[in-house]
C-alpha cells in the first residue's frame, strides 16, 4: 500500500512522515512537495520524494502515480486554496488513488469570523465528498504551537491583551494531529468519516494567562479590548493592518465560540489522550523565555 503525503516539507507534513516511517517503514511512503531538497533527509532514510506543485496541476498526476491512499494537507495559500485543492483531488482520482484524507479546520462554516481561512477548507470538504473517492476529513483545532508567540509577548509584558471575551480555545499539538493523520492513513474504518481532532481542554483567556504564568514564573494579567481597540493597539506597535485585522477576527471567532470544540476522537484513534497546552509550552520553555 503506497501512501502519499502532500506538503511534506511543512511542519505538519514532516511530522506525519516521521510517524509513517515508524509505522510502515520507508518503502511504501511517497513524499510530495514543491521543495524536494527540503526533505532530502527523509529521502535518505528510504522514502520516495517527488516534486509536485498544486499551482501546476500537470505535475501532480505523475507525483501521485501508484498511490493508494493520500494525505491532502491544506495549503497556506489563502485565496488560492480551493483551486489548489481541487487540482490535487482531480489528480488523485486520475492517478487511481482510492482514499484521500484531508486536513480541515473546526467549524468551517460561513458565519465563522475567520471566514477567509475556513471557507476554503469547507468548500474543499464538499469537493472531496462529491469526488467519488473514499474520503476522511480531519478537522483540527488551533495548533498549540501557534500559542508560543502570543505567550512570549504576554509573558514579556505581563499582560495578555485580547478581544476574546470569555470565549475559549482548545489547542492541539501538531504532533498529535500528525499521529491522528498517520493512523487514519494506515488503518481501516475511516472512510466517509469526519473527525474533530482537538486538545483535551477548553481554555479561556484567564486560563491561558494562568498557564503562561505557571510555565514562566511571571504573573500575567488579562486585558480585554474591543475589536477596534485591539486593531488600533496592534497597528500602533507596528503590526501590518492585514495582520492586525486577522488577529482581531480570530479573537472575535473565539469570543463567539467557534473554537470551543472538545472532542474525544483523538483518544479513540490513538488510545491515549492528547497533549495539553501546558505540556507543549513546557517543552518549548527555553525558547519561550528567551523570546520573552
pLDDT digits (tens, 9 = 90+) for 50-84: 999 999 999 998 999 999 999 999 999 999 999 99
d(CA 184, CA 188): 7
Please give the CATH superfamily to which domain 3-140 belongs. NAD(P)-binding Rossmann-like Domain (3.40.50.720)
pLDDT tens per residue, range 80-93: 999 999 999 999 99
Q: What is the domain partition of the chain in residue ranges?
A: 3-140, 143-171+199-259+275-292
Q: Return d(Cα 32, Cα 97) in angstroms, integer.
A: 14
Separation of first and last alpha carbons in the chain: 46
Q: For the residues 131-144, what does the mean pLDDT come to?
A: 97
- CATH fold of 143-171+199-259+275-292: UDP-galactose 4-epimerase; domain 1 (3.90.25)
Taking the C-alpha atoms of residue 112 and residue 231, their distance in angstroms, rounded to an integer, is 19
- What pLDDT does residue 290 have? 78
Output the pLDDT for position 287: 81
Residue 116 confidence class, pLDDT cut points 50, 70, 90: confident
- Domains 3-140 and 143-171+199-259+275-292 agree in fold: no
pTM given for the model: 0.95
**Residue 255 pLDDT more than 80?**
yes
Question: Is a pLDDT exceeding 90 seen at residue 188?
Answer: yes
Q: Which of 160-164, 179-183, 241-245 has the lowest mean pLDDT?
A: 241-245
Amino acid at each position: 500500500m503506497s501512501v502519499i503525503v502532500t506538503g511534506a516539507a511543512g511542519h505538519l507534513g514532516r511530522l506525519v512522515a516521521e510517524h509513517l516511517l515508524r509505522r510502515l517503514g520507508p518503502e511504501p511512503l511517497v513524499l510530495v512537495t514543491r521543495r524536494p531538497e527540503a526533505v532530502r533527509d527523509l529521502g535518505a532514510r528510504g522514502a520516495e520524494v517527488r516534486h509536485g506543485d498544486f499551482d501546476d496541476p500537470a505535475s501532480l498526476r505523475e507525483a501521485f502515480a501508484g498511490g493508494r491512499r493520500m494525505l491532502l494537507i491544506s495549503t497556506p495559500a489563502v485565496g488560492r486554496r480551493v483551486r489548489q485543492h481541487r487540482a490535487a483531488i482531480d489528480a488523485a482520482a486520475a492517478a487511481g488513488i482510492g482514499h484521500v484524507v484531508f486536513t480541515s479546520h473546526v467549524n468551517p462554516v460561513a458565519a465563522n469570523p475567520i471566514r477567509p481561512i475556513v471557507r476554503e477548507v469547507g468548500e474543499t470538504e464538499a469537493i472531496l465528498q462529491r469526488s467519488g473517492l473514499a474520503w476522511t476529513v480531519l478537522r483540527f483545532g488551533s495548533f498549540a504551537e501557534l500559542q508560543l508567540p502570543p505567550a512570549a509577548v504576554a509573558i514579556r509584558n505581563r499582560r495578555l491583551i485580547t478581544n476574546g471575551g470569555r470565549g475559549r480555545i482548545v489547542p492541539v499539538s501538531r504532533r498529535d494531529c500528525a499521529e491522528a493523520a498517520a493512523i487514519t492513513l494506515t488503518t481501516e474504518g475511516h472512510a466517509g468519516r469526519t473527525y474533530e481532532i482537538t486538545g483535551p481542554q477548553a481554555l479561556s483567556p484567564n486560563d491561558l494567562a494562568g498557564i503562561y504564568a505557571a510555565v514562566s514564573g511571571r504573573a500575567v494579567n488579562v486585558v480585554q479590548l474591543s475589536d477596534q481597540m485591539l486593531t488600533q493597539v496592534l497597528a500602533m506597535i507596528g503590526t501590518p493592518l492585514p495582520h492586525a485585522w486577522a488577529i482581531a477576527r480570530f479573537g472575535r471567532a473565539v469570543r463567539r465560540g467557534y473554537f470551543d470544540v472538545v472532542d474525544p476522537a483523538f483518544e479513540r484513534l490513538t488510545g491515549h489522550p492528547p497533549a495539553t497546552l501546558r505540556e507543549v509550552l513546557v517543552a518549548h520553555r527555553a525558547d519561550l523565555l528567551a523570546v520573552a
